[in-house]
Chains A and B, each alone.
Chain A
Amino acid sequence: MNSRQKLRLKFSLVIVLAILAGLIAYPQAVSKIPRLFGILDKPKVNLGLDLQGGIHLEYKADTSKVDSAQVGDAMQAVQDVIERRVNAFGVAEPVVYTTKSGGEQRLVVELAGVKDINEAKKMISETPFLEFKEEKMTEPEKIPEEIITSANEKSKAKAEDILKKALAGEDFAVLAKDNSQDPGSKDNGGVYDFQKKGSFVPEYEAVIFDENVKNDEVYSKLVETQFGWHIIKKIEIKGDGDDREFKSAHILISKMTQPQPQMDFASTGLSGKNLKSASVQFKSQGLSEPEVSLKFDDEGTKLFADITKKNIGKRVAIYLDGEIITAPTVQSEILNGEAVVTGNYTVEEAKTLVKRLNEGALPVPISLVSQQSVEATLGQVSLEKSLKAGMIGLLLVIIFMLIYYRFLGLIASVALLIYSALMISIFKLSGFTPWQITLTLPGIAGFVLSIGMAVDANILIFERTKEEVRKGRNILSAIEEGFKRAWTSILDGNMSSIITALILVEMGTGFVKGFAVTLIIGVLASMFTAVVITRTILRFILGPWIENRMWLVGAKKNES
């Protein structure tokens, strides 16, 4: 193969590469040929969270209570649990990984395109906390008698004051609304619609039925009951004998009393960590009334047997995330380690609960240390704007090159377009390799910046060429000389850019990394297009015909 043939082969390779890269970068060009379009349209640029919306969460894992030899296992377990939870969202490609940073164990979760960011966050970090509790009476602290007395004196005085106003003819409904401490009636003017006789405390009903009060009249005295002081307005009585019903209104000023002992639920030591599995089952045949069936591990089975034995005839409550779900009364001791939660679930709710219970608890607690979230529409706007900026930048650079370097500029512009297509192809094709590149907003900035830097190599070469022409060389040999002499500068200059970009990659945070990775790929690709591709095209196209057309390169021969 002689050198001309070699050149022809090289040139054809450049053309093939250009067409291939162009088609991958912009498959819409062949949208009329469905089969080809179908293949070419497959590779997609993997957009970062900032461009398609999404959330980046960084959690710190507290491993202080874990033996240092087992930290690795614990972190793996955290990752597994979170991965299972995250998979429940149906996000296309959730990313979960652990990293170490300054002695801290970290877990990073990235969800692209997730709709409800806050909901996602909740699902990730909140463990379903299942707990079994038993009844317990709690004796509240006593309040000193004199405090109660003095408080009640004040209340009574207030009640008397309101009674006076009511008797003086002020609007009862307004007085009730402003003063009554009965939440059940204050807002509708203190009125209770017809109630059966016997449903109120006797002191109250005595006023309605025994005292001589007319309809729509306020009783002239304060009535004291266990609740406090009532100002009572009789409205109407209907019916006969024991079926009598009455309608009335009242204003209540509550009384302070010693707190009563309360029925409460106390922890039993049985919790979600003793859970072996959970499943959905249905109470009656068919799909009605789904229930969640729980199966305990050995320790749990023993605990549950103890608890049920101790509490026969009493209630045992099942709490989920601190809320009581159900509190069935224990009928008999349960030895098989199985329990059923009936909580008025829909099938969907029951399934979700089961899923979350089975996903289990985290082996170590995690807390959020860093979050970056971008709403999808904002990402869309950023993408459009930065692409527009890129197009404008590319166009302006091409115009500049054409004006300043004319024919050489045209070739450089072609190389620049090939460069852009090549970059987009690399982004798209990287998805098929283990080194998928994610294009972020700073990545686009890096790409646009690299367009400016890509022509630098050409400018170096062309300036050198012009210089050699000025020195009296003919154009063809000047171009060769230009490529040869400019090479060391191109290499040295780009090395310094690569060094700084590598350090940026090492720094590692999202913004910086996206920018640095595109810059590195850009610098490498631009060296290839500016040197190899431009040179091949020029060598192929240029011939002796250029020699008398100096204006094409924009240089003047210096005869002196």
Chain B
Amino acid sequence: MLNIISKTKYAYIFSITLTVLCIGALFTWGLKYGIDFTGGTLIEVKFENSLPANQELEDVLKDLNLKSLTLQSTGNNSVLIRYASEDDKINQTVLEALLKKYPESKNLRTDYANASVSSELKTKSLMAIFWAVAGIMAYIAWAFRRVSHPVASWKYGAGAVVALLHDILITVGAFSVLGHFWGVEVGVPFVAALLTILGFSVHDTIVVYDRTRENLQRSSAKEKFPEIVNRSLNETLVRSINTSLTVIITLLAIYIFGGESIKHFSLALLIGITFGTYSSIFIASALLVTSYNLQIKK
């Protein structure tokens, strides 16, 4: 049997360092928001023959006075054009200007959101994350309501929430770095990924807690709480790793073969779920033990 609980100190140090680094990255670089949060337009245009140079495209669009215009070429001979826009009319003008200069070009997709839509999406996203955390905490507290000895049932809820905040922070921090160095944007899909990570991370934690609950009810009086927790962790270890492995396998399949549009979405899930597995093994239960130890000292 592995003594996982005895390694708590290292797990705490590792997690706190990583979390602090992620918060640091967030404060220095922030996140690179997509147009669904900032408002504006994203147009993808595919060119028949060769891709025109960015400078050439900029010259074509120069007269339109587009604010914060960025051009980014993608793999399949197409360019992503982003700019701030307050009115849909400009989108038409941009497409016409491009078609005039490059009659063979093709508008693959257009995403446009004006400021009222983007600010609404932002609020909705924050509210969704808030309600998800609150809902999960309430559910765990309810599911573990009969377990109050030796650690109160709300502490299971709190432990799970700390673990999932840890997973979320690390994912967000990773995307702050990705955004700063590789221009990866976060939008509504990223929020969907975060909420899925929430659900999954808690799912993992619950399985371990469930086993702890079961073992508590059946254990002899001799066995101490930290030992029971450690035994429960060991008993569920293979399951935690295998489950995460199957999910990670499918996510890798989506990431590698699923195409551009959902690449970053699956990347967010990959990061979050990997850390979710780690935190349910090394953090969530350790928190219960730490709180128990503090209780005894009093």
Could you list which residues of chain A lie within 8 angstroms of chain B, going by C-beta atoms? 50, 58, 60, 101-102, 104, 117-118, 367-375, 377-378, 381-382, 385-386, 388-390, 392-394, 396-397, 400-401, 404, 441-442, 445, 448-449, 451-453, 455-456, 459-460, 463, 467, 485, 488-489, 492-501, 503-504, 506-509, 511-512, 515-516, 519
Quote the shortest CB–CB distance from A387 to chain B (angstroms).
9
Quote the shortest CB–CB distance from A57 to chain B (angstroms).
9
**How far, in angstroms, from A508 to B44 measured CA to CA in the complex?**
25
Q: Residues of A contacting B114 with CB < 8 Å?
A: 368-370
In the complex, which residues 79-125 of chain B have their Cβ closer than 8 Å to any Cβ of chain A?
88, 91-92, 95, 106-114, 116-117, 120-121, 123-125
Quote the shortest CB–CB distance from B79 to chain A (angstroms).
14
Contacts A371-B110, A511-B188 known; 12 new A-B pairs at CB < 8 A: A118-B95, A369-B113, A370-B117, A373-B107, A389-B257, A390-B253, A393-B250, A400-B242, A448-B258, A449-B269, A459-B246, A493-B206
Quote the shortest CB–CB distance from A61 to chain B (angstroms).
13
> Does the CB pair B136–A507 fall under 8 Å?
no
With A367-B88, A460-B207, A489-B211 as contacts: A442 and B192 at CB distance below 8 Å: yes
> Does the CB pair A456–B249 fall under 8 Å?
no
Contact sample, A vs B, 10 pairs, CB 8 Å cutoff: A102-B116, A369-B116, A371-B111, A373-B110, A382-B259, A442-B189, A495-B139, A500-B135, A504-B192, A506-B131
> Does the CB pair A375–B109 fall under 8 Å?
yes
Q: Residues of A contacting B198 with CB < 8 Å?
A: 496, 500
Q: Residues of A contacting B238 with CB < 8 Å?
A: 463
> Does the CB pair B106–A375 fall under 8 Å?
yes
Partner of A375, one of B108, B252, B269: B108
Q: Flag whether B151 is at the interface (Cβ < 8 A).
A: no
> Does the CB pair B246–A449 fall under 8 Å?
no
> Does the CB pair B189–A104 fall under 8 Å?
no
Q: Flag whether B19 is at the interface (Cβ < 8 A).
A: no
B 242-264 binary contact with A (CB < 8 Å = 1; else 0): 11011111111110111101100
Q: Residues of B contacting A448 with CB < 8 Å?
A: 250, 253-254, 258
> Does the CB pair B258–A459 fall under 8 Å?
no
Q: Residues of B contacting A101 with CB < 8 Å?
A: 120
Q: Residues of A contacting B247 with CB < 8 Å?
A: 449, 452-453, 456
With A445-B265, A451-B250 as contacts: A496 and B139 at CB distance below 8 Å: yes
Quote the shortest CB–CB distance from B122 to chain A (angstroms).
11
**How far, in angstroms, from A488 to B146 measured CA to CA in the complex?**
14
**How far, in angstroms, from A118 to B211 measured CA to CA in the complex?**
58
> Does the CB pair B112–A368 fall under 8 Å?
yes
Chain B residue with Cβ nearest A55: B110
Q: Flag whether B266 is at the interface (Cβ < 8 A).
A: yes
Q: Residues of A contacting B125 with CB < 8 Å?
A: 507
In the complex, which residues 25-53 of chain B have their Cβ closer than 8 Å to any Cβ of chain A?
44
10 shortest interchain CB distances as A-B pairs = A393-B253, A452-B247, A500-B199, A393-B250, A385-B259, A493-B203, A452-B250, A389-B258, A389-B257, A497-B199
**How far, in angstroms, from A55 to B106 measured CA to CA in the complex?**
15
Quote the shortest CB–CB distance from B71 to chain A (angstroms).
19
> Does the CB pair B139–A50 fall under 8 Å?
no
Q: Residues of B contacting A373 with CB < 8 Å?
A: 107, 109-111
Partner of A60, one of B116, B136, B143, B206: B116
With A393-B250, A393-B254, A500-B196 as contacts: A489 and B206 at CB distance below 8 Å: yes
Partner of A404, one of B110, B214, B242: B242
> Does the CB pair B256–A400 fall under 8 Å?
no
With A393-B254, A400-B249, A509-B188 as contacts: A492 and B108 at CB distance below 8 Å: no
Q: Flag whether B239 is at the interface (Cβ < 8 A).
A: yes
Q: Flag whether B225 is at the interface (Cβ < 8 A).
A: no
Partner of B239, one of A377, A381, A459, A499: A459
> Does the CB pair A459–B243 fall under 8 Å?
yes
Chain B residue with Cβ nearest A500: B199
> Does the CB pair A392–B117 fall under 8 Å?
no
Quote the shortest CB–CB distance from A78 to chain B (angstroms).
17
Chain B residue with Cβ nearest A485: B214
Q: Residues of A contacting B199 with CB < 8 Å?
A: 496-501
Quote the shortest CB–CB distance from B224 to chain A (angstroms).
22
